Structure 1
Amino acid sequence: MTDPHDADRRGPDSPAARALVRSPLSDGEWQRLHPLTPLLRGGLFLLVIIGVIVANLRERLFELFLPAVTDLPPGVIPPDPVDFILANNLILIAGGGALAVLIVLLVIFRLSWRFHTFRISDDDVEVRSGVLFRTHRRAPLDRVQGVNLTRPMVARLLGLAKLEVVGAGLDSNVKLEYLSAKAAETVRGDILRLASGRRLAERGVAAAPAGSAVQQAADAVAAGIQGIVDGEDFSDAEPESIVRIPFGRLVASRVLSGSTLMLVALIVAIIVAASLSTLWLLFTIVPAFLAFGAYYVRSIARGLRYSIAPSSDGVRLTFGLFTTISEVVPPGRVHAIEVHQPLLWRPFGWWSISVNRLTGRGSTDSSTDPFAAVLPIGTRDDIERVLRILAPALPAEEWSFVFRDGILGPEDDDPYVVTPRRVRLLRPLSWRRNGAVVTEDALFLRRGWVRRTLAIVPLARLQSIGLHQGPLARATRTATLAAHVIAGTVRTSVGALDRDAALTLFGETARATVAAAAGDRSHRWAG
């Protein structure tokens, strides 16, 4: 199938575009993915087949390897498909059938690889796939919100990585699964440079010969094993992280969390149930403890090898011990920032930062955004360093709204519009902290006493501003101010504000948003 627009979209053919790319895979021509791609993409199907075989032969396997856990007399193996094949002398037929299935799978995997191609032009990232039913996905570069690089454990052993180009719409992401690790890193830099609008001086790049498919696979595996031993060593290596998370602090932050309180409550319930001889409740012990153990291991492993640093293409995030995930979030792509502090973290002075950003995922994708928590845990100095690279447009005179008045406040000269004293019963613990203030660059929303929270909404990213009143709010002359941005984990509304003060804040925010959007150039972050 030929794209009718191929002749018009052959790029990158301009000198300025050629100067931006470093990889021969970004030359504007259709390219194939790494030859080992079918092994990883078909791995789930193979695991299902292995699971079916193990399920049918489980009694034989238990008898052979774990005879102590079976109830059968020694040496007795129940009938299974293997006995049927041996009894009817069908060894050659069964072997031939298995070989035929394996050959068919290899042919299918090979065809899927040959028909799965991608192209990076100076306008789009395109992917074509499918043998019988063809699909063609295109991500316009001017709508790119970021590029994720993920290296699952098996892919790391093979020296591979996958790229996900994050688009600006629903179900708009384009995936390149899989490329060699070095090629993926270089291609990601090419995409970000082409998307940034930067125009550098032209410089030549010598493209190394690709070699045969077998040679590419062998080189990738060798590089992957060496990378596991020596650590990552990309030519486009990330700068040094501005935050270091000690292992002890990471573990302590997970222990001092709401999940631990739930675990303690579960243990108390189990003890009470055991004392009352409620045996059915005891069956929840093993799965519950396995679930909590998996959560702690997963969250701690995710925070290991964490790094965040500014780069020429945006804020670069990397995390994960087993599966390493890396993304560059370009400036102007962050729509809301939240700094929060649970009560149990307060004695230690720890905070966390989350963001709302465009993910390009489909409406059926219920998984959480792995990059929502851009800083799992940090001190005040860590928070300030991260906020300065996430919100570089905030001038020095507005930083007092962040820590002094926002996170740690209120002070005596509090600039925030807060819940009036007459309705403090609506927010009995946090009525003095519950408030909002707007500047020329951002809207600040402050909430919570038990869990301190400050949301920062850059006005250039604000889509709309709203006021809401329910029956109780109308009776108490209060209102809820809501900033409408990309959906995510950051809550961008604050309630129980005085109605007249909220109306004034609404008008100021609307006027400041128009001015901020008119002067915003952050979507062309490289000039």
Structure 2
Amino acid sequence: MTSLADGDWHRLHPASPLLRGGIFVFALLGFVIANLRERFVDLVFGIPRESGDPLDAIYEGGAVGWALLIVAGVLLVIIVAFSLSWRMHTFRVTDESVEVRSGILFRSHRQARLDRIQGVNIVRPLIPRLFGAAKLEVSVAGQDANVQLAYLGSALADGLRRDILRLASGARQPRAAVPGPIDPGQLLPAPETDPPGVGQPGDLVAPAGNRRHALNDYASARVGEFLAPELDPDAAPPESVVRIPVLRLIGSIVFSGFTVFVLVGIGAIITSVIVGGSEWLLIAIFPGLIASVGYYVSRFTKSLRYSIAGTPDGVRVGFGLLTTSNETLPPGRIHAIGVTQPLAWRPFGWWQISINKAGHSTNDGAAGQAATTVLPVGSLTDVGKVLELILPGFAIDEQRALVIRGLTSRGGNDGFANAPRRAAWLRPFSWRRTGYTVTAGAALLRRGVLSRELVLVPLARLQSVGIDQGPVRRRLRLASARLHTVTGPVSASLGVIDVDEAVRMFEAISAGAVASADSDTSHHWSLVPAVTATVAPAPGSTAAPAAATEVTS
């Protein structure tokens, strides 16, 4: 373990207060610099200033000294507040939990249990990357239970993530400690020996050449972080399992529901101006259309450099160009998988994969979508590769063929128990594709004809299964079924199914869920020699104790 996971309390990066709330300081400095620039131009070129300038009023009233004193006092208060905030914000990682203490007047103590961790996400926003800092977020099961460490040194955040995942896997034997203490606030890990040309600690003043050498090293490190791949070469394969071509990414954004909204807005403008002559509607809608350009640019940049790969501690998903994010999903934290294909994507053969998990990151996922989107857009082959990572049992050819039929088949005798013909009274278009099957420790639900969808639920993660029948379905001898999982974008339900088939489904899935839960050991994946991130099923979290606690005083 690194010295950050030794059970002692540590502080964050010294620039953390500035990075978290220093935008106001930057705005104040920008205002002062802009005014000084104008005054410099006035002084050099003799351009008269307009009356009513507040700085002129202060100067003419002889209150320059008081103004400078007030500015100095405000800056001093800000510096003292930032310093106290940094000193009072500490964290520690033990064998059982991650704890964070913060607050000056009102103290807060948050604790996240390691056995309830649903994912560990490292986000590197653009400005903190200039300081060599990153935000580490531990996602745990529960409402508003996540724990954030904002900010740590970028390299130290990667090391701490490995330590947290190792402890969460059930391993308790520490690795060899890193020689010497590591300060979490340093910009770069301290080298074991001084590099050539750098002054010794006892030197009072470093030579100018050494200072230039250190500055060049710092600049090279920042450039290296900007160009480095999102996947950690020490923890993940060097190549992503799936790559999203730029043209496919652009096409998926253009052929989306938001584009329909934009086209409707453009049509309304044309109609109002040309036909009705209502220019006021143009004024109301046009700014929104301009903002939509920013939406497209944001989705595009957030999807660049997308990567997904298996690691010994789970599936690693990364993305982002300027602000990067990569999250590790430990084995067994995925409760449901939804593979969908909107109608506009069908000619291109594109699909999207979303998941349900007990904890959710507070940061957006790939393409600016929810953090539960693990594949923004991909081909049928890409879908198979991702499912092999998060549900490795489907690497078998027969199961892979079953998934393909669940995605593309129009119904019939294809391995699924489908809804009967009389279900057309309630589902006139999609009754042929409404069906289910159970295989390899997972239940597969298929539905939808305009927007195709296949839902996969690991039986070990299933919370309950229910079937119900209203008066109309009772008349048609139909029922509806639902597999209950944690809340998320994936809904594991069937609107219509034969009533006798619903009973068989209830019994088969109930028995399979009990058997899968009894044999599941992936919550302590490091204790099972054969289990890795690419072969482990996902553990449940519904019967575990509270994920996180917070005490405020």
Calculate the TM-score normalised by the size of structure 1.
0.85
SS for the counterpart of 1:119 is: strand
Shift in alpha-carbon separation, 1:31–1:201, aligned structure 2, 3 A: closer
Q: State the shift of 1:193 in Å.
A: 0.6
Shift in alpha-carbon separation, 1:228–1:311, aligned structure 2, 3 A: closer
Identity %: 45
**Partners of 1:193 and 1:162 in 2: CA distance:** 19
Q: State the shift of 1:437 in Å.
A: 1.9
What is the letter of the counterpart of residue 227 of structure 1? G
SS for the counterpart of 2:135 is: strand
Q: 1:402 matched to which residue of 2? A: 403
Q: 2:352 matched to which residue of 1? A: 352
Q: 1:10 matched to which residue of 2? A: none
Q: State the shift of 1:259 in Å.
A: 1.7
**Partners of 1:113 and 1:148 in 2: CA distance:** 22
SS for the counterpart of 1:148 is: strand
Shift in alpha-carbon separation, 1:283–1:123, aligned structure 2, 3 A: same
Pairs within 5 Å for 1:120-131: 120-131=93-104
Tell me if the contact between 1:123 and 1:141 (Cα under 8 Å) persists in the aligned partners.
yes
What is the letter of the counterpart of residue 268 of structure 1? G
The answer on 1:168 being equivalent to 2:141 is yes
Q: State the shift of 1:126 in Å.
A: 0.8
The answer on 1:258 being equivalent to 2:237 is no
Q: State the shift of 1:86 in Å.
A: 2.0
Tell me if the contact between 2:468 and 2:479 (Cα under 8 Å) persists in the aligned partners.
yes
Tell me if the contact between 2:153 and 2:186 (Cα under 8 Å) persists in the aligned partners.
no
Tell me if the contact between 1:145 and 1:358 (Cα under 8 Å) persists in the aligned partners.
yes
What is the letter of the counterpart of residue 231 of structure 1? A
Q: 2:111 matched to which residue of 1? A: 138
The answer on 1:379 being equivalent to 2:379 is yes
What is the letter of the counterpart of residue 98 of structure 1? V
Shift in alpha-carbon separation, 1:106–1:214, aligned structure 2, 3 A: farther
The answer on 1:38 being equivalent to 2:39 is no
What is the letter of the counterpart of residue 461 of structure 1? R
**Partners of 1:237 and 1:303 in 2: CA distance:** 22
Q: 2:224 matched to which residue of 1? A: 227
**Partners of 1:515 and 1:418 in 2: CA distance:** 25
Q: 1:153 matched to which residue of 2? A: 126
Q: State the shift of 1:163 in Å.
A: 0.5
Tell me if the contact between 2:423 and 2:497 (Cα under 8 Å) persists in the aligned partners.
no
For residues 404-456 of structure 1, the C-alpha deviation after alignment (integer angstroms, 9 at most, x for no partner) is 2x101145423323232123132222110012222351111111111111010
Q: 1:9 matched to which residue of 2? A: none
Which stretch has the larger CA shift, 266-275 or 284-293? 284-293
What is the letter of the counterpart of residue 236 of structure 1? D
Q: State the shift of 1:469 in Å.
A: 3.1
Q: 1:25 matched to which residue of 2? A: 4
Which stretch has the larger CA shift, 504-513 or 436-445? 436-445
Tell me if the contact between 2:393 and 2:440 (Cα under 8 Å) persists in the aligned partners.
no
Shift in alpha-carbon separation, 1:171–1:427, aligned structure 2, 3 A: same
Q: 1:236 matched to which residue of 2? A: 234
The answer on 1:458 being equivalent to 2:437 is no
**Partners of 2:121 and 2:476 in 1: CA distance:** 48
SS for the counterpart of 1:283 is: helix
Tell me if the contact between 1:469 and 1:479 (Cα under 8 Å) persists in the aligned partners.
yes
For residues 210-238 of structure 1, the C-alpha deviation after alignment (integer angstroms, 9 at most, x for no partner) is 49969989989646623355435867353
Q: State the shift of 1:330 in Å.
A: 0.8
Pairs within 5 Å for 1:327-366: 327-359=327-359
**Partners of 2:174 and 2:99 in 1: CA distance:** 26
Q: State the shift of 1:310 in Å.
A: 0.3
User: How many pairs were matched up?
Assistant: 490
Q: 2:205 matched to which residue of 1? A: none
Q: State the shift of 1:199 in Å.
A: 5.8
Shift in alpha-carbon separation, 1:330–1:361, aligned structure 2, 3 A: closer
Which stretch has the larger CA shift, 210-219 or 34-43? 210-219
Q: 2:90 matched to which residue of 1? A: 117
What is the letter of the counterpart of residue 251 of structure 1? I
Tell me if the contact between 1:441 and 1:458 (Cα under 8 Å) persists in the aligned partners.
yes
**Partners of 2:440 and 2:342 in 1: CA distance:** 30
The answer on 1:425 being equivalent to 2:425 is yes
**Partners of 1:156 and 1:522 in 2: CA distance:** 35
**Partners of 1:215 and 1:98 in 2: CA distance:** 34
Higher RCO (Cα < 8 Å, 6 or more apart): 2
Tell me if the contact between 2:360 and 2:371 (Cα under 8 Å) persists in the aligned partners.
no
Tell me if the contact between 2:3 and 2:177 (Cα under 8 Å) persists in the aligned partners.
no
